[in-house]
Amino acid sequence: MFKQFDEYNSQLFEQCPVGLVLCRTDGTLININSAYAAILGRTVPETLNLCDRQITPENYATVDRSSLENLEKTGRYGPYEKELIHKDGHLVPVRISGLMIEKDGEQLIWCSVEDISDLRRAQQERQHNEQILKQSEARYRSLVTANTQIVWVSTPEGICFELASWIAYTGQSLAEAENGGWIDAVHPDDRAYTGEVWSAAVANQRMYQVEYRIRGRDGNYRYFWVWGAPVLEEDGSVREWIGTCTDIHDR
């Protein structure tokens, strides 16, 4: 029975998709599975002939020393992330967790090593896409600002929070313009209709288009064509609204 149990454990060790390592506290490898060797692009025998310094970049010496000190104090370390040196020279990002065990009177380290290359690539791709999106939005807003007098941004619920150009034109303070106070700078005869159109657009997540008069800081009203559109997330929810107010009074 014990022999069968040992054979079963041996099969689990070998077939585990996560790298498994048994080593001494000085980094000397005692036993590894194929998954760990594959992370390094090597066979099991090739890997067992290596020492920890040969597969770990020098810049991780401080981190590894700190993890080992924590292991000696608490009996475990990680999970933490580092990189290992592949056979062809490139670095493989991994997540490591370790446990101190005792075997035949010797303190050994039993740890799991997970290849997180796919996760790291996904993170980098997401960061890259976010950067592209930010650059695209910045260019768009710069272009819009150059061609219109007023640009505004609101929350998904329709509460305007980016009102710098509105404030500059109307002379309202931020306290006066935020939380719906901007409508006080709209001509009294246009306020009810303007509010209704904006509320309907927000409720139905559709384009906002309306014409109304805005009071400038000089006290005079001028006609503006106001346009707004929802910026959607991947799941179809509204992240924010962005809109412009273009002076059409002279037309």
**pLDDT, tens digit, for every residue of 108-120?**
989 999 999 998 8
Q: Are 6 and 114 found together in one domain?
A: yes
pLDDT of residue 4: 44
pTM for the complete prediction? 0.55
Task: Kindly tell me if the per-residue pLDDT of 33 is higher than 50.
Answer: yes
pLDDT of residue 40: 94
Task: Kindly tell me if the per-residue pLDDT of 241 is higher than 80.
Answer: yes
Integer angstrom CA distances of residue 74 from 26, 64, 78 = 18, 15, 11
| Within-domain flag for 141 | no
The domain tally of the chain equals 2
| Within-domain flag for 11 | yes
Q: Are 38 and 112 found together in one domain?
A: yes
Residue 180: CATH number of its domain? 3.30.450.20
The domain in which residue 200 lies consists of 148-247
| Within-domain flag for 213 | yes
| Within-domain flag for 63 | yes
| Within-domain flag for 16 | yes
pLDDT of residue 143: 61
Judge whether 206 and 212 are in contact, CB under 8 Å: no
| Within-domain flag for 164 | yes
Summarize pLDDT for 122-160 with one digit per residue, the tens: 888 888 888 887 887 777 667 666 666 788 889 999 888
